[in-house]
Structure 1
Amino acid sequence: MKKLILIVPLLIMVLFVVAMFLLLLGLWQWAVSFVLVVLILNWWSETFALHPFGEINSHYDFRILSFNVNRAHGFSVNMGTTEQLIEFILKQNADIVLLQEYNAELYPEVQERLNYEYSHNSVIEINSRFKTVFSRFSIESCEQLMVDSNDPKYKLFQNAFYNKKNHKGIEVLPICKMKIMIAGRMVQVFNCHLMSNNYSVVIRNLRKKGQCICYGIIPILKRLDFGYKARTLQARILSEHIDENLPALICGDFNDVSGSATLHELQQSGLYDSWWKKGFGFGYTFHGMGLRFRLDHVLFTSKQFKLCNIIVPRTNVSDHSPTICDFVFLIK
């Protein structure tokens, strides 16, 4: 059931439209039944957040911004310039900026400009893509999660979909764990870019060959199945690295929607989805290839933090929109 979670937002909208149509026809009993199904499905999947009257709270201890700044898929059009990207980030006035998937060509310019605003930063490179944190607070440590793919538990990472070179041994995961001293409090912050389905590769190859997209159905389904398994395993590994004694923020591009096995795996560790707690609507963050999904998330531990605000501003400087959250510490 969790593998079908991507169609839930569409299913919710269709069922709601059907319910309204039945109501107009005077079939209110059927309409109520459909509405109940919509509400139950929405509660199960945490798809459409229902906080329309949330007030913007200007009093918070820190603001964190998580942003996949990928601009290289070739499907998106009218992308902004690198200068616009930098100005957009600075305008948000975040205390901590987490970036995923920005390439080596952008790195020097972004690094140079943001260093003026943020006195602390850490950069980790994977396959010419960077995961970076810029912070006004001291970064006490930064490490990348790794596993041994020879271990039977992690043998999935030897699969050709994940590991093109088919090497065996230490596998570096796209997850960075940091400890940041925020207002005198040590907080663990994870910057993630979990396994992509990479179905865009199949579509690009078909377009190059001039073939119909229908020829890619089977390869795309295989990639979706493997991506589901890989992200669930990555989330499980991440959960094992969360220190229960410290406040935790898990941020980034999860390449999965709310209600998925990936999010469920993390929420079992006592983490909460920021958008579901404070947002309103679908809150989609990915808008490439004509699609709309909420793939980027900020999860937090509720015992130490109170979520004041969450914002998903629209922008054309990436095929993703950033997720911005304001938090206060519950215990001063």
Structure 2
Amino acid sequence: MKEEIKKQSFPGISYVIATDKNQFFGYLGDKAWFPEKEVLTDDTIYDLASLSKVISTTTSILILLEKGKLRLVDPISKYLSEFKHENVRIHHLLTHTSGLAADIPRASTLKNRDEVINKVFNQELINPIGEKIVYSDIGYILLGLVIEKISGKSLADFARENIFEPLDMKDTSYNPINIDRCAKTELRQDNVFNGYLQGKVHDEKAFALGGVAGHAGVFSTTKDLAHFIQMILNDGFYKNQQIISKVTIDNLYKPYVVQEKSMFNYPYQRSLGWELSSFGFSCGDLVSNETILHTGFTGTNLFIDRKNKIGMAFLTNHVHPKRGKSALFSARPRFSNIAMSQILPYLK
């Protein structure tokens, strides 16, 4: 990671390695480079980007499932009557098999919530439902709206009350208040926003939605993510409080859909919200076959290896000062391999 920082692949990295009982933290590099260099600290807050999908949205859906408020086979139109594809169900959105496209074209031109929701409700399907995995922000925007419809609360409030507060994730939220502690991401210059994004969500669709969306928008720290990791490793418990059940967590580690050929040249497996470990992806080569993982566009990464009782989160602002760099993609599995090789022998 020091090598990548020297090559200016990203300003810095904050990381945590957590077991079911212990936590190990570290950080390297800077918080930002522009418009001036900023010092990275152990409590720097990062834009999680698509880690929001699993930390907030997926977990919220599972909580509602356990409360009997929804079923995975429920059609989305049961809750969102404006959505016209009656056979798209909640499990299709969780596994990215809805047939919806990956993204909304020209998302950077979207200015407000109404524009985004109108686009989402009027999307055509690009594939038959249930036949192909296409990782879709659109699907997770819909899941966020479903959570709000069922709960009668904003996604931000539901996640705060049911996930962040019970897990003592004190610095985790949508639209963070402590903006000065947030790592800057990209310099955005368009008709919607002009300046470096700091404490404002990087994703254009989430930005237009007011910073709160099912696919992106959560900000957090490695200290807070350690609590989430330990909750999963302890079968849904955190400090004697059950957040989700062991039965539900068991299902996170089961492949709901498998696509034999993918853009990465290995089988692509997804469970409810999460990707399942495949040889050589972002979690490296030393994790067990009981590993769930997810990444985020801003340069975030999280995996939880249940068999070895270990999880890791790496947070960077890889898109600072601009997107388009690729070095992090090869650095993540290498860093994971180094960490796992050093720690696993002591866990046996």
- Give the TM-score normalised by the residue count of structure 1: 0.25
